[in-house]
């Protein structure tokens, strides 16, 4: 997992509509990257549903939340619609997992990201967390503790 104090690796990935979203788009704000394995899997559905429930509170603390997985933009669009998600979902699709790997959230054996959170502010990693297993959802309390620190 990427270390706190590290310069955040730059990225530019398509969102669920195919629009390019870059790290620089969040300059001057707090950005919480949520790396997750796959759209439509039961645990990912629960995780992003939970984060949607508290998204207003996260935004009230001055942070933006963005999901990243290896799924395509088309898959992300359908996943957002099914769950009524409003946070952007970025497609780390081609080359597969490049950004996820740069942030140290990649699981080579399965070919997708781990459930990991990275808080970036002023281009620097301020906090990061990797679940011990992709089956364990990082609770919203971790996010709020990181934003309060």
Query: Is the Cα torsion angle 134, 136, 137, 141 positive or negative in sign?
Result: negative
Cis omega before residue 47 (within 30°)?
no
- The DSSP symbol for 88 reads -
Of 32, 44, 58, 119, which one is the catalytic site residue? 44
Instruction: To the nearest 10°, report the CA torsion of 86, 57, 50, 3.
Output: 100
Burial 43-71 (b: 16+ CB within 10 A, else e): bbbebbeebbebbeebeeeebbbbbbbbb
Do 126 and 137 meet the contact criterion of CB atoms below 8 Å apart?
no
Q: How many residues does the chain have?
A: 149
**Is 44 in the active site?**
yes
Residues marked as catalytic = 44
């Amino acid at each position: 997992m990427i270390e706190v104090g590290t310069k955040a690796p730059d990225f530019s990935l398509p969102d669920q509509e195919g629009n390019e979203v870059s790290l620089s788009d969040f300059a001057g704000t707090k950005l919480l990257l949520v790396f997750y394995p796959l759209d439509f899997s039961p645990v990912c559905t629960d995780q992003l549903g939970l984060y949607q429930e508290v998204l207003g509170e996260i935004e009230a603390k001055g942070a933006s939340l963005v999901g990243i997985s290896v799924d395509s933009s088309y898959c992300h669009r359908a996943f957002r619609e099914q769950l009524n998600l409003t946070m952007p979902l970025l497609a780390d699709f081609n080359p597969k997992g490049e950004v996820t790997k740069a942030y140290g959230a990649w699981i080579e054996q399965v070919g997708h990201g781990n459930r990991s959170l990275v808080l970036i502010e002023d281009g620097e990693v301020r906090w990061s967390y990797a679940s011990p297993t992709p089956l364990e959802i990082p609770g919203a309390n971790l996010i709020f503790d990181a934003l309060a620190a």
